[in-house]
Each structure stands twice: as C-alpha cells, then as structure tokens.
Structure 1
Amino acid sequence: MVTKANKPGLDLGRAFQEAAAQFRGLDMNKPGQWPPLPKITAYAVVAVLVVVAGWFLVISDATDTLQAERDREPALKQDYRSKLTQAVNLEELRKQKLQVEEYVTQLEKQLPGKAEMDALLSDINQAGLGRGLQFELFRPGQVAVKEYYAELPISIKVSGRYHDIGAFTADVANLSRIVTLHNLVLTAPSGRDAQAGSGLLAMEATARTYRYLDAAEVAEQRKAAAEAAKKKSGATK
C-alpha cells in the first residue's frame, strides 16, 4: 500500500532567524557586499527619507504657495468686480473725464501766466483808483511756488468811504483772474480827518493772486520734489 508523503509546513521561526542572520556582522563601509535583505531594507529606508525630504522641501512650499493664492482669491474677485463695473461704465467715465478736463482748463484760464502778472497788478490798482480810493500801500511780496502754481501776496492799504471800499472789494472779486483778499482790517481815521468828520475809512488787507507754472517751472518743481524724496529715503536708511 502506497502512502503520500506530507509536505513540510512553512517554518516562520526559521525564516526570521535566517533574515536576522543576514543583518549580523554588516560592514557599514562596504554596503555592496551586504546580503540581499539588508540591501533591500536600506533601499527602502533611503526611498522613505527621500519622499519625506521631498515633502518638506518641495510639496510643503507648494502647499504654502497654494494657500497664499487662495487667500488672495477674495481680493482678486473684488478687484475684478470693481474693474468690471468700470468697464461697463467706460463711456460714461470718459465723458466725466472730458468734463473734468474742460473744467480744469477753465480754471487755468483764470490763472495768469508769468508775463501777465504786471497787467493783473495794474488791474487791481485801477480797480481802487476807479472807486476813488487812495492807495497808501501797494507792495507785492515774495512769490511762493507751489506744486502746480505760484502765489503772489500783495500788501495793500487804501483809504476812502465805506461804500467805495466795499465796491472795490467786489471789483477785485469779479476780476477775470483769481484774486482773493485776506486779513481785512477796517479802521476809522484818527487826528485831523476824524475831527473834520470826513467819514473816511482805512482798509488794510493782503491780496493774493495766483499764476500757473510754465513747463520749465513744473519740471524744476518735480526735480526738487524727487531730490527731497531721495534725501528723505537716504536719511531713513
């Protein structure tokens, strides 16, 4: 009678012992001579380390960049809506721009140029003489140059009757060029005129007129502003 031989079972203990034996006595300076199992284990460890390093060095930075872009998304959407509204109303905005430019041009026409300042000063003087006022002082001051215009203060002192002085101030306000009066002081005369009951008053004021800057003056102002900003930046550093 023939009997079948039983197949030997898998001996796990023996397999673990053989695997452990491959890790004993490894020469760390000669990894090429290691048994197969330590080599495979070393390759696996290196691969895991590469993946982890790649995560922290590459993928983590990419994640931070992605989150930063997501944070920018609401602001970009709002900016898009704003620009979309402007694009829809582009024609209306262009019309408003033209209206503003026309208004600015009209205002500039009320500002005399450098060559017209003498004529304007003469107009102010003639406005007072035309009302029968007597000029006791008419002294232009130092020109103050601003960013886009220049300002000329004029110290004046006139004497005359109350209604004539009022008419003079109205004439100055109605000049074709912009002239403003500041620090008005009305005083009654003293001494002989007061005793005579002449009814005269004295008015002291500062008249300020303005002129636009020519191209050379504008360029000089911009250059001075740029140099001042550069010095300020250097001082801050």
Structure 2
Amino acid sequence: MANPNLNIDLNALFEQAQSQFQGLNPNEPGQWPILPKLAAFLFAALAVLAIAWTLLLSGQSDELQSERDKEPQLKEEYRSKVAQAINLGELRKQRIQVEEYVKQLEKQLPGKAEMDALLSDINQAGLGRGLDFDLFRPGQVVVKDYYAELPISIRVTGRYHDIGAFTGDIANLSRIVTLHNLQIANINAKDTSGQLYMEATARTYRYLDPAEVDAMRSDKDKSKKGNKK
C-alpha cells in the first residue's frame, strides 16, 4: 500500500510551489520568491544558449559554404599546376629559346657609343645608292623602359629604283632601323628626269646603359614618393 502521508506531502509541496508563481509583479523581479527566480534564470540561460548556438551554427554554415564555393577554383588551379608540372621540361626549353632570342635582339641594338657609327651607316647607305641627302637631322632621344629611341628626319632625292634599294639597305643593316611616314613624289610637275624625293622618319634604337637604367628607376621612385604625399 502507498503511504498516504507521502502523497499529502507531495501535494502540499506542489501547491506551495504553485502559489509562489501567483501574483508575481513583472516590474519587480527582485522581490519574487526563490522558485520563480530560479525558473526565470534557467529560462534566460537557455534562451542565451539557444541564441548563441544558432549564431554559431549560422557562422559555421556560412564558412562551410564559402569553402565549398572555393572548391571549383581550387580544382581548376590544381589541374593547371598539374599540367604545368607535366610540361615543365618543355617549358624550360621554351624559356631557354626565348632568352636566346632576346639576346639576339639585344645584339641588334647599339650601345650609346655606337650610335654615331650607326648614323654614319645610314648616311653611307644613301650615298652608296647615288642619292642626295637634302635633310638628315637626328631628333630628341626618347627613353623607354629598357631602350632609347632616336628619330631622324631624312629627305633624299634620286631615281625610283635607287630609293627602293636604299630602303632595302636600311632594312638589312646589322642594327635595327625602321622607316616611318614615307612620302615619295616627283620633285616638281615639270621634271622629266625621273628624279624623285623621299621624306621619312628613320628610327634607330639602342639599349640603355646601366647608369641610365639606375637613373630612370631613381626618377620613378621619386615620382611615386611625390604622388604618395
């Protein structure tokens, strides 16, 4: 048989606990009985834990999605690097070939001390074809990143085939010389001797001396510092 006294005690405790939750003033929680205070504390703690857990899961979910989004790009980079690794030997051969080609091109660029000789070669190429130089005027040197460019205004007179042979001689010089803005015409409308004139801008190129490269880099550094200010 169940003990009636035990039932009476449990009922009394339940009623006593229930009575503590009656007539509570929400504006004065500090005056609540102990059970409502404990219940409110537990509820607040659970609410905080639930919010924190939700935020944590949300942040982890965003991070997981971000990593998933990176997966296709990483796979593509991996495939690219694998292909490069497979072709590494061939790429090294191509690099050596490019370096050799660059060296050959550099040999076609005169140094600063060789420019006078190159100008003389251009002049001699015209004279060798029987042309008369009406104008042979070097312009202002234009400095680029790795080389310098010298424009030369020229005007020569002579026969058509001689002028054509002269342009061919210019193209076959050991140094790089290019012709721009060519104009060929009769000296005058009444001239029947077959004499023509050619006006053009010849451009020669030379590599920069180490001192010139250092000076150019120094100027660039000063310019960058000035722009930052």
Q: TM-score, normalised by structure 2?
A: 0.83
Deviation string 1:82-124 (CA, Å, 9 cap, x unpaired) is 1111111111111111111111111111111111111111110
2:117 and 2:141 map into 1 onto residues whose CA distance is 16
Unpaired runs of 5+ residues, structure 2, are none
Change (3 A) 1:217 1:163: same
**Quick check: 197-206 or 105-114, which moved more?**
197-206
Deviation string 1:20-69 (CA, Å, 9 cap, x unpaired) is 222345863367xx43x334423422321331342355443232222211
Q: Hey, what does 2:137 align to over in structure 1?
A: 139
* Superposed counterparts of 1:43-192, under 5 Å: 43-55=41-53, 57-190=55-188
2:118 and 2:174 map into 1 onto residues whose CA distance is 9
Change (3 A) 1:224 1:168: same
- The answer to whether the 8 A contact 2:131-2:157 is kept is yes
1:215 and 1:57 map into 2 onto residues whose CA distance is 61
**What's the CA shift for 1:16?**
5.4
2:227 and 2:204 map into 1 onto residues whose CA distance is 32
Any idea what SS the aligned residue of 2:145 has? coil
2:3 and 2:173 map into 1 onto residues whose CA distance is 127
1:65 and 1:98 map into 2 onto residues whose CA distance is 45
For these two proteins, the number of residue pairs brought into alignment is 225
1:5 and 1:208 map into 2 onto residues whose CA distance is 118
> Which amino acid in structure 2 is aligned with residue 157 of structure 1?
R
- The answer to whether the 8 A contact 2:133-2:156 is kept is yes
- The equivalent position to 1:216 in structure 2, one of 211, 214, 222, is 211
Unpaired runs of 5+ residues, structure 1, are none
**What's the CA shift for 1:233?**
7.3
2:59 and 2:228 map into 1 onto residues whose CA distance is 34
Any idea what SS the aligned residue of 2:29 has? coil
> Which amino acid in structure 2 is aligned with residue 199 of structure 1?
G
Q: TM-score, normalised by structure 1?
A: 0.81
